Structure 1
Amino acid sequence: MNTTAYNRPKQPEQVRRALLEAAVALAEEQGLGGITVQAVADRAGVTKGGLFHHFANKQALIDAVFDFMLEQMEAVLDRLMADDAEQGCFTRAYVISTFECCDMALSGQALSISMVTDPALRRRWRDWVDARLARHADTDSDPRLNVVRLAADGYWFARVLHDGDPGPETPEALQARLIAMTREG
């Protein structure tokens, strides 16, 4: 009889994080279809019951993975903005995070791309962007900064569509050009 499940100390936050990381890894490897309850539980080393203790169903797990990705992006943005309070600071952080996190975004592209077809995820992304823009309205409401953010989104989307190769300009050169545009007046 296996008694490790009974003797193992309860660490709910670690188990929850392991489940989220397992779901992200499966999405990277197999797309959203790879996120099954059994596959995530197996990958995280927990039972299906353990998964259901943290997430009521598969949709709740996918929602949590989306939130997890947004939290990671929030942390990067906040880190980048910590020393920048000038006009366009949010947009600069957004551009830098798009380029810095592009490999992470590409690895999580199954979930990110699902925003295109899933109205609920699309609405959650839009609400998140709108909240950040409202928070930074004093520094980032200029329409030209919106163009820069849209260009950064286009860069990310081009990387996804072209298997990591967005075009002839180097990512560093394009990022520098977009950052320079945030400082133009």
Structure 2
Amino acid sequence: MTESAYTRRKQPDLVRRALLDQTAALAVGGGPAAITIQAVADRAGVTKGGLLHHFASKQALVEAVFADLLEKLDQEIDLYMAEDSEMRGRFTRAYVRAIFADRKLGKSSPWAALSVSMISEPALRQLWSQWLERKLGEHRTTDDAPMLEIARLAADGVWLADLLQEDRETVRDLPHIERQLLALASSKPQGT
């Protein structure tokens, strides 16, 4: 006997997770334009009404996916920080590593698919800005030096350049750039 939506046991956390994952997968496969309420509902195996029960609109769904990606970035950065015994610059080095790790995924990264939307979507920019402000506040005592900000901004620049680059092989030596940024984030502050 096949379970229907009426006889199946409700599992809202699993449904929500499936909706987030399928939205990210659609973005990877076809960019933000591929995300529609119907497409996400179909891929997650729920009705449009079921999706709208969890997320009031497509915008709310995309924002939730973006917040989910930020949470995953937090976890990745925490893992890198746990491996790093040098306190000064530890967040910055973890941030650089996370940026370059995502860059290696290329177009198959949900970040690549959704990040361009940050430019035109104020709500996504606000989520990013709040996340970054919170992280910098948490690590102000260890990562507030100008050279560390330069390393983070340079990593952002590499990420953005790759994101905007046409589908062709890069000519930059990215492993070398990553090593240089990590070294910059490990050096002693100037003037001390």
TM score, norm. by length of structure 2: 0.89
Q: Aligned partners of 2:3 and 2:172: how far apart in 1?
A: 58
**Equivalent residue number for residue 150 of structure 1:** 153
**Deviation at residue 156 of structure 1 after TM alignment:** 0.6
Q: Aligned partners of 1:151 and 1:179: how far apart in 2?
A: 11
User: What SS does the aligned partner of 1:6 have?
Assistant: coil
Kindly indicate whether the alpha-carbon contact (under 8 Å) linking 1:88 and 1:140 is maintained by their aligned counterparts in 2: yes
User: In the alignment, which of 175, 180, 191 is matched to residue 177 of structure 1?
Assistant: 180
Kindly indicate whether the alpha-carbon contact (under 8 Å) linking 2:67 and 2:127 is maintained by their aligned counterparts in 1: no
**Equivalent residue number for residue 139 of structure 2:** 136
**Equivalent residue number for residue 97 of structure 2:** 96
- One-letter amino acid of the structure 1 residue matched with residue 124 of structure 2: L
Q: Aligned partners of 2:168 and 2:122: how far apart in 1?
A: 28
**Equivalent residue number for residue 38 of structure 2:** 38
Q: Aligned partners of 2:42 and 2:19: how far apart in 1?
A: 9
Q: Aligned partners of 1:120 and 1:93: how far apart in 2?
A: 26
Q: Identity rate of aligned residues, in percent?
A: 47
- One-letter amino acid of the structure 1 residue matched with residue 82 of structure 2: A
Q: Can you give the 5+ residue segments of structure 2 that lack an aligned partner in the other structure?
A: none
**Deviation at residue 167 of structure 1 after TM alignment:** 4.3
Q: Aligned partners of 1:171 and 1:16: how far apart in 2?
A: 36
Q: Aligned partners of 1:28 and 1:72: how far apart in 2?
A: 16
Q: Aligned partners of 1:11 and 1:112: how far apart in 2?
A: 30
Q: Please, what is the CA RMSD of the aligned residues?
A: 2.0
Kindly indicate whether the alpha-carbon contact (under 8 Å) linking 2:96 and 2:181 is maintained by their aligned counterparts in 1: yes
**Deviation at residue 95 of structure 1 after TM alignment:** 0.2
How many residues of Structure 1 are paired with residues of Structure 2 in the alignment? 185
* Residues 92-137 of structure 1: CA deviation (Å, up to 9, x unaligned): 0000000112245743223111111112211221111111001000
User: What SS does the aligned partner of 1:184 have?
Assistant: coil
- One-letter amino acid of the structure 2 residue matched with residue 34 of structure 1: A
Q: Aligned partners of 1:103 and 1:82: how far apart in 2?
A: 22
**Deviation at residue 52 of structure 1 after TM alignment:** 1.2
Q: Can you give the 5+ residue segments of structure 1 that lack an aligned partner in the other structure?
A: none
**Aligned CA distance change for structure 1 residues 103 and 7 (closer, same or farther; 3 Å):** farther
TM score, norm. by length of structure 1: 0.92
Q: Aligned partners of 1:49 and 1:105: how far apart in 2?
A: 34
**Deviation at residue 27 of structure 1 after TM alignment:** 1.1
Q: Aligned partners of 2:57 and 2:80: how far apart in 1?
A: 35
**Equivalent residue number for residue 76 of structure 2:** 76
Kindly indicate whether the alpha-carbon contact (under 8 Å) linking 1:158 and 1:166 is maintained by their aligned counterparts in 2: no
Q: Aligned partners of 1:163 and 1:75: how far apart in 2?
A: 30
